[in-house]
Structure 1
Amino acid sequence: MTNQFADFGIAGFGHSLGVDQKVEAEVLTEFVDDPERVLQWGYHTFHRAPADVTAIELSARAARDAIEDAGLTADDVDYVVLALSDVPGYLNWDASSALAREIGVRLKPNLLLMEGCVSGVTGLGNVAGLFATDPSLQNILFVAVNRVSEYHRNRMRVNNSIHSDGASAVILRRGHEFGRWLATVQFTDPDVSDWFRTDFGGEVAPVAPADWSSQTQANGLEAVVDHFRTDPKGLQTFVTALNQRLVEVTDQACAKAGVERSSIKKIIHLNDNQGSFEEIAEVFGVPISSTSAEVAAQHGHMGAADHLVTLAEYTRSGELVPGDLVALIGISIGMRWYCTLVRI
């Protein structure tokens, strides 16, 4: 089914990853004093960028690869969209413009998305809006990047995922047959919007206390427990609803696209731990092989970059072929549940 408002597909892929790090006790002890807890998450590898490699540099490498893969030059790019899912390099600064400068796309429009890892998926819906409202657009560069700021966040204490450094990029081309966008849906539970925030460095608290360190800051999940400290029944209800809402948002996307959930070939979830993938497979009623669990274990959680890196791997390996229906799903800050459907 072709969307009547925005008809576009993926004409090229690119990605750039930090240096591979094995998930083993001697590596993990730099970040946590209980490596066994992290080992239980089931990751094999994560990516850590060198200290002098920024999010913009990772993004530019991925962008150039996608432009080349699509057979284009920077002059052919009509719009640059950047989804940035960690702390930006600077305050009062437009990272999307910095990316455009880095890759040589000048005097063209650009857009910056900063809604955490969700923006690497719902950003495709934003692009649909651009195509729908501006018939002159032909090729949009969409880049999603996660570069952990280790001053602000401990990559192994944000939640029950190892946070990884990487960027993914795609060229989204009007009328392209491969990787067609079908629908994007998201909804939020704003009552818990403060969970997983970085408390220091922003307008409310620009400077951290002298004794504060990301190495010892509370795990984001501790904020969840604290929220429900006097309401254990409420916590149980919320936990039960977490994955069920993924099914709900996927069903909403399927309804918009006019497809059946049973026709989805692959469920690409954010690169969560293996236990979460088992739970997701159960709630969707599919074998875990129908999810992206195996790829997630090789990369760690690359924030907004997860889904497009995984989609590229599956299409290049031949596991996904033209005609296959793919759901890109996840849960992000906000709290947001989201799904984008793509027809390979």
Structure 2
Amino acid sequence: MDYGLVAFGTALGERVAVKDIVVDRTEDVERVLGYGYDYLHLAPHDVGVTDLAAEAAANALAAAGIAPSEVDLVVLALTDLAEYLYWDAAAAVQARLGARHAEAVLVDQGCVGGVTALDTLAGRFATRPEHRVAVVIGANRTADAYWNRLDTHSLLFSDGAVAAVAVRGADTFRWRASHAESDGRYADFFRMDVGGAAAPFSQGAATPRARDAWDVMEHFGYDSAKVNDFADEIDNRTARSVHRVCKRLGRLEEDLAWLFLLNDNTRVLTAQADLVGVPLSRTNHRLAVEHGHFGAADHLFALSWLHDSGEARSGDLVCLAANGRGMHWASTILER
């Protein structure tokens, strides 16, 4: 099975300085500024996640010179809620693109979805020999009604979407291998308790909120040692996923030219890069500082930058590694 990414497109919210908005959004200013982010992207209130996804995909197809009618597959990876419930956001994007002959697939694994979506592409190309062209999209539009992006997590979420056009047999950013693993013991982390079938929305009730990082502390009984152990587990299993995908390909971590992680805060990016053994300068650290965390779009955003910058050489191995709610860990290796 062989496919490569030939073109990219982006659609980002307005870029704003964190220092200019932090006081209005949280009382814990010192903590937020300490994460090391300089800028975030914020979409207007009337712009939804499928607006961003459809724009990014259209831009990617235009860059590739491929018409929507030629697309066989659309894969959309979301981080947060789409605009509506009982609604398939991937199918909506397919229709807006005009890719009416394409199958639409939705990947809903939080921040790791942009990596597992590439594995989804590999599977679809392997089982459908007639598929030649696919569009993969990572998108995030924070549901501000349900949680505060500056007061909930230790990484700061931006609004934006990035799409890539994948073509069977293409020799740029060729898919080489993927690995994924899950641990359902943590499935309740970050869930929203109201709004599903177990506890539907009710008229007149207060707006519900999603669980956050502080609820994770409650899960561990506010035992700081256990919370720290869980943070270490996230980092260690991210590094382990890199090791396993390298082993699957028959290569070593030192063979990696680039390691793209989530656009996490500086401490986490440094810790994970050190565990893998890749210098921070060969990661997406600067992109994280300058743009914030796009959720499932982080890795495609980094690949888009690498594609446009010309810094990658032919034969470079690029590893994408992530963790996401569920919990899931995944890695993919592409070859430039």
TM-score interval, smaller chain: over 0.9
- CA–CA distance in 2 between the matches of 1:75 and 1:144? 21
5 Å-filtered alignment, 1:210-229, equals: 210-212=205-207, 214=209, 220-229=212-221
Note if 1:12 corresponds to 2:7: yes
Contact 2:72 2:101 in 1 (8 A): no
- CA–CA distance in 1 between the matches of 2:222 and 2:56? 46
Contact 1:115 1:333 in 2 (8 A): yes
Note if 1:206 corresponds to 2:200: yes
- CA–CA distance in 1 between the matches of 2:73 and 2:194? 33
Note if 1:163 corresponds to 2:157: yes
**CA RMSD of superposed structures (Å):** 1.7
Note if 1:308 corresponds to 2:300: yes
Q: 1:39 aligns with which of 21, 33, 44?
A: 33
SS of 1:33 mapped into structure 2: coil
What is the CA-CA distance between 1:284 and the residue it aligns to? Answer: 2.0
What residue number does 1:3 align with? none
What residue number does 2:107 align with? 113
Contact 1:246 1:329 in 2 (8 A): yes
What is the CA-CA distance between 1:152 and the residue it aligns to? Answer: 1.5
5 Å-filtered alignment, 1:85-234, equals: 85-207=79-201, 210-212=205-207, 214=209, 220-229=212-221, 233-234=225-226
Note if 1:341 corresponds to 2:333: yes
Q: 2:46 aligns with which of 29, 48, 52?
A: 52
Normalising by structure 2, report the TM-score: 0.95
What is the CA-CA distance between 1:322 and the residue it aligns to? Answer: 2.0
Contact 2:69 2:101 in 1 (8 A): no
What is the CA-CA distance between 1:288 and the residue it aligns to? Answer: 1.4
What residue number does 2:250 align with? 258
What is the CA-CA distance between 1:237 and the residue it aligns to? Answer: 3.3
Q: Which amino acid in the other structure matches residue 39 of structure 1?
A: L
- CA–CA distance in 1 between the matches of 2:119 and 2:248? 13
Q: 1:31 to 1:204 in 2, by over 3 A?
A: farther
Q: Which amino acid in the other structure matches residue 333 of structure 1?
A: R
- CA–CA distance in 2 between the matches of 1:324 and 1:313? 15
Q: 1:281 aligns with which of 247, 256, 273?
A: 273
Question: Which 10-residue stretch deviates more, 27-36 or 83-92?
Answer: 27-36
SS of 1:168 mapped into structure 2: strand
What is the CA-CA distance between 1:85 and the residue it aligns to? Answer: 1.3
- CA–CA distance in 2 between the matches of 1:118 and 1:210? 32
Normalising by structure 1, report the TM-score: 0.93
- CA–CA distance in 2 between the matches of 1:22 and 1:53? 20
Deviations 1:42-77 (A, max 9, x none): 111101100111111111110011101111111111
- CA–CA distance in 2 between the matches of 1:336 and 1:23? 29
What is the CA-CA distance between 1:234 and the residue it aligns to? Answer: 3.9
Q: Which amino acid in the other structure matches residue 204 of structure 1?
A: A
Q: Which amino acid in the other structure matches residue 239 of structure 1?
A: A
- CA–CA distance in 2 between the matches of 1:145 and 1:7? 25
- CA–CA distance in 2 between the matches of 1:58 and 1:164? 12
- CA–CA distance in 1 between the matches of 2:216 and 2:88? 31
What is the CA-CA distance between 1:169 and the residue it aligns to? Answer: 0.3
SS of 1:167 mapped into structure 2: strand
Q: Which amino acid in the other structure matches residue 16 of structure 1?
A: A
Q: Which amino acid in the other structure matches residue 252 of structure 1?
A: R
Contact 1:153 1:198 in 2 (8 A): no
What is the CA-CA distance between 1:227 and the residue it aligns to? Answer: 1.6
Gaps of 5+ in 1: 1-5
What residue number does 2:16 align with? 21
Deviations 1:209-265 (A, max 9, x none): 845565xx76x2212211211765544433332211112111111111222211101
Deviations 1:63-107 (A, max 9, x none): 011101111111111111111111111111111111011111114
Contact 2:77 2:108 in 1 (8 A): yes
5 Å-filtered alignment, 1:74-85, equals: 74-85=68-79
SS of 1:57 mapped into structure 2: helix
SS of 1:196 mapped into structure 2: coil
Question: Which 10-residue stretch deviates more, 30-39 or 120-129?
Answer: 30-39
- CA–CA distance in 1 between the matches of 2:285 and 2:120? 27
Contact 1:315 1:321 in 2 (8 A): no
Deviations 1:113-138 (A, max 9, x none): 11111111111101101000111110
Q: 2:60 aligns with which of 40, 62, 66?
A: 66
Gaps of 5+ in 2: none
What residue number does 1:267 align with? 259
Question: Which 10-residue stretch deviates more, 281-290 or 70-79?
Answer: 281-290
Q: How many residues align?
A: 335
